């Protein structure tokens, strides 16, 4: 059985969905009795269904023993409850994106009044593109998990070649060129800009970026909204490109971190607008355990404040594009690096990545003055006939061997 539970402190209660081969999904809540270092934990699961669940845990995995099988309506009710708890938890941290569609409570539901209220008040269609992507991703991941169970992925990860140092490559490029280290994005399309490049050859683009002096590459793997794919990540990696690779995904589940690692990623993206603090903490630990760097992306002051409260973050991305409205404003990078937040970032020696909407040497100079040591650029360079020259145009000079 594969159950991955983020843990912070003793006494904490968490909703839990367990996926097992014997019982498709079973739901309960888990209370943390004794957090041990790392992922090890001692847990007790309780369920209001008539069946008995006993969970014993060891290291990062929970081992199950099921003393009975819940009826399917119990399971549906528990699933729905957990989804609603997840939405509530996110809302309590100021997260506007609902993690699950608040669909109608299953027949026979007689749970907490507040949950029924929450369900009754909200429409069952996504309120913006980020919410839509998040809901779709949740379904997609459930399907992909069936095809690639975690146990098999873990074996693949054990045999995978070592990762490359994403953060180190950015620092070195910054020192070498005096410019922010470039993460060049391999992106065919986006929901806001449509198709960016018709004859899209991901390996050719990646190689051109590398020749042009990119420190790292970002590869979109979302198929539906960005016309990307994990096959691009794999192809770029196996073509011998040396730049470390960021898997540009909407991560909502730990399984995706294993998958990214198995497909050749050196770093993953964690988007604060869709993840709770606890999820970020846990996904960060898991990434580190697998040798991956994590770029934690924020868009506003509130998200920046949350992220600065989480231990162990080395890379923070400031997205100049709102993933809810698509509005792009590069002064967002400057705004979020002013005052107390900027001071804390310098104190912790974090690398800040200026993301999106960067087109000219002036744009680069502007975000560099604001304090970034790295930039993430897609559209302005991917659109060029020759992306290698596109990089020189973006920086106003050749950065490949300076």
Ligand X SMILES: O=P(O)(O)OC[C@@H](O)[C@@H](O)c1c[nH]c2ccccc12
Provide the binding-site residues for ligand X, judged by CB under 6 A. Answer: 185, 187, 248, 297, 319, 355-358, 376-380
Q: What is the DSSP letter of 207?
A: H
174: closest CA among 209, 216, 219, 218? 216
Between 55 and 186, whose beta carbon lies closer to ligand X? 186
Q: Cα 143 from chain centroid? A: 18
CA distance 275 to 273: 6
CA distance 275 to 268: 14
CB nearest ligand X: which residue? 378
The yes-or-no answer on residue 210 being catalytic is no
Nearest approach, Cβ of 379 to ligand X (angstroms)? 3
The yes-or-no answer on residue 355 being catalytic is yes
Between 62 and 364, whose beta carbon lies closer to ligand X? 364
Do β-strands 194-195 and 61-67 pair in parallel, antiparallel, or remain unpaired? unpaired
The yes-or-no answer on residue 159 being catalytic is no
Of 137, 248, 263, 285, catalytic? 248
Nearest approach, Cβ of 340 to ligand X (angstroms)? 24
Per DSSP, the three-state class of 386 is: coil
Of 64, 81, 131, 185, catalytic? 185
Nearest approach, Cβ of 18 to ligand X (angstroms)? 29
The yes-or-no answer on residue 81 being catalytic is no
Between 14 and 391, whose beta carbon lies closer to ligand X? 391
The yes-or-no answer on residue 263 being catalytic is no
Between 248 and 306, whose beta carbon lies closer to ligand X? 248
CA distance 304 to 295: 13
Q: How many residues does the chain have?
A: 402
Nearest approach, Cβ of 356 to ligand X (angstroms)? 4
Of 49, 319, 322, 332, catalytic? 319
The yes-or-no answer on residue 185 being catalytic is yes
Nearest approach, Cβ of 127 to ligand X (angstroms)? 18
Do β-strands 293-298 and 267-271 pair in parallel, antiparallel, or remain unpaired? parallel
Tell me the Ramachandran region of residue 6: left when phi exceeds 0, alpha when psi lies from -120 to 50, beta otherwise. beta
Cα dihedral sign for 268, 272, 273, 274?
positive
For 266, residues 6+ apart whose C-beta sits below 8 A from its C-beta are 163, 164, 165, 166, 216, 244, 245, 246, 291, 292, 293
Nearest approach, Cβ of 320 to ligand X (angstroms)? 8
Rg (CA), the chain: 22
User: CB neighbours (10 Å) of residue 88?
Assistant: 15
Between 248 and 261, whose beta carbon lies closer to ligand X? 248
SS (H, E, C) 323-339: CCCCCECCHHHHHHCCH
Of 78, 100, 187, 334, catalytic? 187
Between 290 and 330, whose beta carbon lies closer to ligand X? 330
Of 279, 303, 355, 379, catalytic? 355
What totals of helices (H) and strands (E) does the chain contain, helices first? 15, 15
Between 185 and 279, whose beta carbon lies closer to ligand X? 185
Nearest approach, Cβ of 192 to ligand X (angstroms)? 8
The yes-or-no answer on residue 340 being catalytic is no
User: CB neighbours (10 Å) of residue 270?
Assistant: 24
CA distance 33 to 321: 41
Q: Which two tokens stand for residue 208?
A: 């051109």
User: CB neighbours (10 Å) of residue 214?
Assistant: 27
| Residues annotated as part of the active site | 185, 187, 248, 297, 319, 355-356
């Amino acid at each position: 059985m594969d159950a991955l539970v983020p843990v912070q402190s003793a006494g904490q209660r968490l909703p839990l969905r367990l996926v097992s081969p014997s019982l498709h999904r079973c739901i309960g809540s888990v209370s943390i009795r004794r957090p041990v270092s790392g992922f090890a934990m001692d847990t007790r699961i309780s369920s209001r269904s008539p069946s008995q669940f006993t969970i014993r845990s060891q290291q990062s995995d929970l081992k199950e023993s099921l003393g009975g099988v819940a009826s399917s309506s119990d399971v549906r009710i528990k699933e729905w409850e957990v989804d609603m708890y997840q939405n509530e938890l996110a809302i309590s941290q100021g997260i506007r994106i609902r993690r699950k569609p608040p669909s109608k409570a299953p027949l026979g539901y007689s749970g907490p009044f507040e949950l029924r209220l929450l369900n009754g008040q909200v429409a069952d269609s996504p309120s913006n593109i980020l919410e839509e992507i998040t809901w779709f991703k949740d379904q997609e991941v459930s399907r992909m998990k069936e095809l690639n169970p975690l146990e098999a992925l873990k074996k693949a990860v054990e045999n995978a070649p070592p990762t490359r140092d994403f953060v180190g490559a950015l620092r070195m490029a910054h020192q070498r060129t005096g410019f922010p280290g470039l993460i060049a994005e391999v992106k065919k399309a986006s929901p806001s800009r449509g198709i960016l490049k018709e004859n899209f050859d991901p390996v050719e683009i990646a190689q051109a970026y590398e020749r042009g002096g990119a420190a790292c590459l970002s590869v979109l793997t979302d198929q539906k909204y960005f016309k990307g794919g994990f096959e691009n990540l794999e192809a770029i990696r196996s073509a011998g490109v040396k730049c470390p690779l960021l898997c540009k995904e909407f991560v909502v589940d730990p399984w995706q971190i294993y998958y990214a690692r198995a497909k050749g990623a050196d770093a993953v993206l964690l988007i604060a607008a869709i993840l709770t603090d606890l999820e970020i903490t846990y996904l960060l630990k898991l990434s580190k355990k697998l040798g991956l760097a994590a770029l934690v992306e924020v868009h506003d002051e509130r998200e920046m404040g949350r992220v600065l409260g989480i231990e162990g973050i080395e890379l923070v991305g400031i997205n100049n594009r709102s993933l809810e409205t698509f509005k792009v404003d590069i002064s967002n990078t400057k705004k979020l690096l002013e005052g107390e937040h900027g001071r804390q970032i310098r104190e912790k020696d974090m690398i800040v990545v200026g993301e999106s909407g960067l087109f000219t040497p002036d744009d680069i100079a502007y975000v560099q003055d604001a304090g970034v040591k790295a930039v993430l650029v897609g559209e302005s360079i991917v659109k060029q006939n020759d992306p290698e020259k596109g990089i020189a145009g973006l920086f106003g000079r050749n950065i490949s061997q300076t």
